[in-house]
Amino acid sequence: MTEQRRQAPTTHFAPVPRRLPARAALGDTPLLTVTALAGVPGFVRESFGERVLQRAVQAAMLDIEAVEDQDCFIPHITVTTFVDAVARFSGDDAFSLTLAPHLTMASKGCWATYMLAAPTLGAAIARGIDTIGFHSRGDVMSLAVHEGTARLAYASAARGFDGYSHVAVGTAGILLSLCRAFLPAAWRPGRIAFDLPRPPRPELFEATFGCPVVFDAPALAVTFPADLLRRRARHGGALPPITVADIARARVECRTLNRLRDVLEQQIWTQVLSGRVSIESAAHAVDTSVRTLQRELNREGTSFRELANAMRIKRAAELLRDTDLSVTAISTVLGYAAPAHFARAFRQGRGISPHEFRVHAASNVAA
């Protein structure tokens, strides 16, 4: 009898899946790259209409569709709130079973690309385990091989949140997508185990995934013959090479998301990219009240307004330097009431006007 296990924590996030206790530091908020939801808003719109999508966006307090292709992090609670709202407002509590077969690892950003570029399925899984910290703070991916059977497991920090059942179903769909990148398209796993209570109609799960399904398991897991780990990629080496350093450059800020201020700056940055910044959304993202959030920021010698202004000015500088958008258009994109308000805020932050900054940036490029 032989047994092989692989579960290596990343050096960027400490993957310890748990629900935060009431008095946990807000900087410990479990996080996930927003690309995990890539394609989901579009599916909701097509399946249930614009009204359901917008109500779910309002519940999550973030326009996920506006940032789904960005390398930024959002709290797990934002994800679970969004999918739970979709189920409630659509009246379809099993919508994730319809969604799961359409989910693909290929849409999950640079971390997923790094896995898919591996030479074999086993190597792809090993890459995912070793670098999951570039995808999440709180999730754990592991592989165990026992008596010829491989067990690919994924423990999500979202477990325990309302809406987790939809996250679990979607995760199963993505894990199968990873396997099918190396196996025939018609391949089916030996079994899928869900860390969910047995539902009223378990046969819907088996119909969706085409294999036996069990519930009340300690973790979400997919099992299959271990010899399939040696199967080579179906793309035949056609994908461009990608390294861990490439992922690090794309998601460099994930290395520093350890304090409340770091987490809040990331959430405000995500809000800036989506076009709407609010302290209510930020407080919801870290599962606390506005008053508690204000108090914690005061202890760190800052305020939500100061952080929001800094993130807006950071984005404004990027847009002035790298796009042809007018100053008026940029002020609108960033949510300022008038271009004059934007110009005043930019001068306070950078010491020069937006126009002067753009001229200076252009001259540096020309030089």
DSSP string covering 126-195: HHHHHHGGGTEES-EEEEEEETTEEEEEEE-TTTTSTTHHHHHHHHHHHHHHHHHTTS-TT---SEEE-S
45 and 117 both lie in a single domain: yes
Name the DSSP class of 351: S
Q: CA of 324: how far to CAs of 215, 316, 329, 331, in Å?
A: 54, 12, 10, 13
312 and 192 both lie in a single domain: no
339 and 320 both lie in a single domain: yes
pLDDT in tens, 335-344: 888 999 999 9
106 and 195 both lie in a single domain: yes
- From 202, 223, 250, the end of a domain falls on 250
Given this model, what pLDDT does residue 252 score?
58
Tokens of 279: 């302290």
CATH number at 275 reads 1.10.10.60
235 and 275 both lie in a single domain: no
- From 210, 226, 250, the end of a domain falls on 250
114 and 221 both lie in a single domain: yes
Cβ(90)–Cβ(124) below 8 Å: no
Strand order in the sheet with 136-137: 73-75, 31-33, 136-137
Show the DSSP H helices in the chain as ranges.
40-48, 50-60, 64-67, 76-90, 95-99, 109-116, 121-131, 164-180, 203-209, 244-250, 260-274, 279-285, 290-299, 304-322, 327-333, 339-350, 354-366
Rounded to whole angstroms, how far apart are CA atoms 157 and 31?
8
Given this model, what pLDDT does residue 11 score?
33
282 and 264 both lie in a single domain: yes
Given this model, what pLDDT does residue 236 score?
62
136 and 231 both lie in a single domain: yes
Cβ(237)–Cβ(204) below 8 Å: no
185 and 264 both lie in a single domain: no
259 and 349 both lie in a single domain: yes
Given this model, what pLDDT does residue 109 score?
85
Tokens of 339: 């271009």
Cβ(176)–Cβ(222) below 8 Å: yes
> Residue 272: how many CB atoms within 10 A of its CB?
22
Rounded to whole angstroms, how far apart are CA atoms 308 and 321?
20
Cβ within 8 Å of residue 70, ≥6 positions away: 34, 35, 270, 273
164 and 257 both lie in a single domain: no
202 and 267 both lie in a single domain: no
Low-confidence ranges of the chain (pLDDT < 50): 1-24, 254-255
* Pairing mode, strands 73-75 and 136-137: unpaired
Given this model, what pLDDT does residue 325 score?
83
In the chain, how many domains are there? 2
- From 193, 220, 250, the end of a domain falls on 250
Residues 271, 277, 283, CA angle at the centre, nearest 5°? 85
Range of the domain at 110: 3-250
What's this model's pTM, rounded to 2 decimal places? 0.76
